[in-house]
Amino acid sequence: MILHTLEIWHPTFTEPIRVVRDHADLTARLETGAPRDGALRVSFVALAFDLELPAVDTGPVPEITVTLDNVGQEIIDSLEAAAISQDKIDIIYRPYLSTDLEGPHMDPPIILTLSEVEADTLRVTGRARMGDAGNKSFPSITYTARRFPGLAR
C-alpha cells in the first residue's frame, strides 16, 4: 500500500509539519538529501488530506491542489504566521510503501511552493506549484566582466 506523506515548511516554523494520509501515525526514514533531518527516521502525524498530483500536460507550470481536513489550531496558527511573511511555504510530497519505510519511493521527492491558501475551522486548502523551469535563464551563470575578467577588453 502506498502511504502518501507531506512535509510543510516555512522559516517561521520551529518544526516542519509532517503528515501521512493514513489512520495511524508513521515513523519512516527520510532521503539522504532531505532539506531537514536527512537520512533520519521522523514521525508523520495521521491526518486526512487530499492530494491531486499534477497531470502530464503541456501547461506552463504543473500545479496541484492540497486539502487538509480536520486540522488543529496549531497548523492553522502556523500557516497564518507564514502567510504574513515574505518567505515561501514549501511542500514536499514523499510516497512510501507500507512494506519499506527505509526511504521514500520517489527520490528526489516532489518539492512544491504553496500559494493561494484558504483556511476555515475544519479545512485548509491550497494550490501548490512546481518550480517554473520554463522561465529560468539558461545557462544559469551570468557572464560578467567582473566574474570573468577575460571578457573585458
Whole-model pTM: value is 0.78
Q: pLDDT of 104-126, one tens digit each?
A: 998 889 888 887 788 777 788 88
Q: Scanning the structure block, which residue is given the C-alpha cell 502567510? A: 83
Most confident of 38-47, 68-77, 125-134: 38-47
Radius of gyration of the chain from its Cα atoms, rounded to whole angstroms = 18
94: domain CATH number is 2.30.110
Predicted confidence (pLDDT) at residue 6 exceeds the cutoff of 90: yes
Residue range of the domain that includes 15: 2-151
Residue ranges in 12-143 assigned as alpha helix (H):
73-83
DSSP 54: P
Q: Quickly list DSSP for 13-24.
A: -SS-EEEESSSS
Predicted confidence (pLDDT) at residue 28 exceeds the cutoff of 90: yes
Tell me the average pLDDT across 8-26: 93
Tell me the average pLDDT across 85-93: 89
Q: What are the phi and psi torsion angles at 75 (to 5°)?
A: -70, -45
- Count how many domains the chain has: 1
Predicted confidence (pLDDT) at residue 71 exceeds the cutoff of 90: no
Average pLDDT, the chain: 85
Tell me the average pLDDT across 68-96: 85
